[in-house]
Amino acid sequence: MLKKMSEPEDQPFLFELYCGSRMAEVRAWGWDEATLRTFLHMQYSAQSASYRQQYPEAESYIVCQDDQRAGRILIHRMPICIRIVDITILPQFQNQGLGTKLLQTLMEEAREQNLPLRLSVLRTGRALALYERLGFQNAGENDMYLAMEWNHETCKEGDRS
């Protein structure tokens, strides 16, 4: 299900994954295809640089389903928590339980290490309902994002499955 990312051969896939996650939003702006791609490339480069700077020890994995590249997850393991820096699944692989499986695997790791599992999500993002269903709780917020945390000590028994 997870394949350790290798640079630079995975970069074209990661860029297309990023485009897939933003295309619906930016197409609404009415730009031509060349302008969209230029803008998305600039945004992707900025995001990648930001992740490298903020989380230099994070591990990046390609998410696979049935031997196909389906997404990526960036995980930063620290002594105080496990942070999901980024999780992106291609649209054609969404709503099939893949994200749930990934999260449950990390929840089990967090439980075994007695650590909280943390992430940030867009307030308007579709993934928010998934995180809430799995027992993640609001741990702070700003205008755009919610900080969320799952902790095996505070989740309800029903949230563990």
**Residue 24 clears pLDDT 90, i.e. is over it:** no
Please give the average per-residue pLDDT across 120-137, as a whole number. 91
Q: Determine the pLDDT at residue 62.
A: 95
Please say if the pLDDT value at position 9 is more than 90: no
Can you read off the two tokens belonging to residue 136?
């993640």
pLDDT of residue 35: 93
- Residue 158, pLDDT > 80, answer no
Per-residue pLDDT tens digits for 136-151: 999 998 888 999 999 9
pLDDT top residue among 25 and 45: 45
52-56 — which CB contacts under 8 Å span 24+ positions?
Answer: 54/85, 55/83, 55/85
Backbone angles phi, psi at 62, to 5 degrees: -85, 130
Would you call the peptide bond into 8 cis, given omega within 30 degrees of 0 as the criterion? yes
